[in-house]
A and B are shown apart, each in its own frame.
Chain A
């Protein structure tokens, strides 16, 4: 029988033990597969569990480590891959009937890199269909099985929270890494646009899509990003800049760090518990030696239509043929926004891109004064399955609108943004703190997040499943 505690450990705690051969990749992988078998019926985090492939890869990793060929912190570590990433020889469905039987003949660049680093791919995590929404049915939130895990990388978030993997990948076009991270009480990092290759990732909107790590700790996010990141000529958006050793940035010291406190947009329309909890977290950053400065974003009032016009137009372009030929195979909540995307005119799309540049300039101005901007990730905690619209304070808002509201700016600026747990509601649901940084400066974002994380007790709490 496998060690039932292992699936709840982190890369940081497991890697030294794997390297010293105190535990074997086979033992660890079996423990994770046993955990999947035990809880997957309730959580439904995976579309495909790669039991045989994972065991074979774990045996190969064990042999390599025993032979002295240790590859680094991901060697022998079980990782879940969102079902938007191509996996050679393994179904990649994007959570859709459209691709129900699609088996890629090659791996996504990120999957190549993970395998190259010795990671064990344990399965394909559920995604909201084509990453087009944020509740990811039928996956449930391990903190409360009656609630949504968020999305679109909801399978990755739920799998992490339930101990069904050690780390996971996600994609983020309007918050799809950070929303499930917030709802499931884990860490999600959307890197800078161009930091991680999207080669082999099924697109939602090319100019806003990002791939990134989802983990149980900030230290693990640093380790996973280090492997995922890097220039790739197959994704023309990637930028040929050095990939830092992010682990070295995690000093725990943020004395003198300048933190931006938004005076508009990010603290509007929040649930009271979220508002209070995030403000406390920012106070805690101040207590660790950071200084807090007000920042504002004059053009963010346009972000809802900028996001809708750009993302839906690009998405409708990718899906145009299937919409004509297989429209009934889409879920209605995915099909209708895609059809909506056909209705924008060319001049509207270009004007949205021009206003997007003004929003970028707002953030550039703010980030010339501060090094990170602090905000909530989502205005509320995880909502109940089927509850849409959702009540936030005295108003009601569609789940899609509420969940992406505070996340989408960073998809259009391309700036790195992390979500990490910063507390819980009275009902026991996780709340996320979002830190947004300068372009290609994930190191500072990770340093600030790590300093907060190690000073707070939140990541020691485990979902009650």
Chain B
């Protein structure tokens, strides 16, 4: 079994759950496990936790083309000049008059 400090958060929870750990222990232990890692570009890089991808490496390999394409396209997307604009708040005021059917 790997040391706790080498485990991903989800892997740790799954393993701990298998061993019969209690709820409170599950909530606090991952924090300790993650905290034990030195914050480097590698550990902090915002990538998907491998355990969150519930498919095999072989299946994941089929995504390689799509992921490679999206990497290139996303790099271009980040260069698109968008000015100050951003997504709107989705809030809509409650109906004032009632549209209804004409």
Contacts and interface: CB of A to CB of B under 8 A. Distances in A.
B53 to A, nearest CB: 6
B28 interface: no
B57 interface: no
Contact of A353 (B62, B66, B87, B97): B87
B99 A354 contact: no
B78 interface: yes
A67 interface: no
Interface string B55-99: 100011011001100100110111010100111001010111111
A342 B87 CA distance: 20
Given A324-B52, A340-B63, A226 B101 contact: yes
Given A305-B74, A340-B70, A355 B101 contact: no
A299 B77 CA distance: 11
Nearest to B53: A339
Contacts of A345: 46
Contacts of B38: none
A337 B77 CA distance: 20
B42 interface: no
Interface in A230-263: 230-231, 233, 236-237, 239-245
A354 B62 contact: no
Given A240-B97, A336-B62, A358-B82, A327 B92 contact: no
Interface string A327-343: 10000100111011011
B97 A245 contact: no
B100 interface: yes
Contact of A357 (B52, B82, B97): B82
B63 A236 contact: no
B102 A244 contact: yes
Contacts, number: 110
Nearest to B78: A351
A353 B99 contact: no
Contact of A343 (B70, B76, B78, B92): B70
B48 interface: yes
Contacts of B52: 324, 342
Nearest to A324: B54
A344 interface: yes
Among the interface residues A231, A243, A305, which one has the most CB atoms of the partner chain B within 10 A? Answer: A305
Interface of B: 46, 48, 52-55, 59-60, 62-63, 66-67, 70, 73-74, 76-78, 80, 82, 85-87, 90, 92, 94-102
23 contacts: A233-B95, A236-B92, A239-B99, A241-B99, A244-B102, A305-B76, A306-B77, A308-B70, A308-B73, A323-B54, A332-B59, A336-B55, A336-B66, A337-B66, A339-B60, A343-B67, A351-B78, A354-B82, A355-B82, A357-B82, A357-B85, A358-B80, A358-B82
